[in-house]
Amino acid sequence: MRNYNEVLRSCENESPAFLTKKCRGKYVLLDIVDYEKMKATIKLLANLEEGEKSAREEVWLSAVDLEAAL
């Protein structure tokens, strides 16, 4: 990659750089902070989905029941 520094500069400010191989999208370069945010968002969404699934399969707890359990 001849323009390495230019590509890295383009990854700043939530702007990933897309790299192609044989004219097709193959790789994405992101700033590490953006990558960590993305991982945290995915984890949060997975936990929310798990909670919703649990609520559908089991029973929602009322605020009174929750306080009693704590």
How confident is the model over 48-59, as pLDDT tens digits? Answer: 999 888 878 887
The total number of structural domains in the chain stands at: 2
Do 43 and 21 fall into the same domain? Answer: no
pTM, entire model: 0.62
Q: Pick 11 or 27 by higher pLDDT.
A: 27
Do 23 and 42 fall into the same domain? Answer: no
Do 37 and 13 fall into the same domain? Answer: no
**DSSP letter (8 states) at residue 3:** T
Residue 16 CA, chain-centre distance (Å), reads 14
Position 1 confidence tier, pLDDT thresholds 50, 70, 90: low
Mean residue pLDDT across the chain:
85
Distances (CA, A) of 39 to 43, 47, 57: 6, 12, 27
Q: Pick 39 or 60 by higher pLDDT.
A: 39
Give the residue numbers spanning the domain of 14.
1-30
> What pLDDT is stored for residue 48 in this prediction?
93
| Helices and strands of the chain, counted as H and E runs | 3, 2
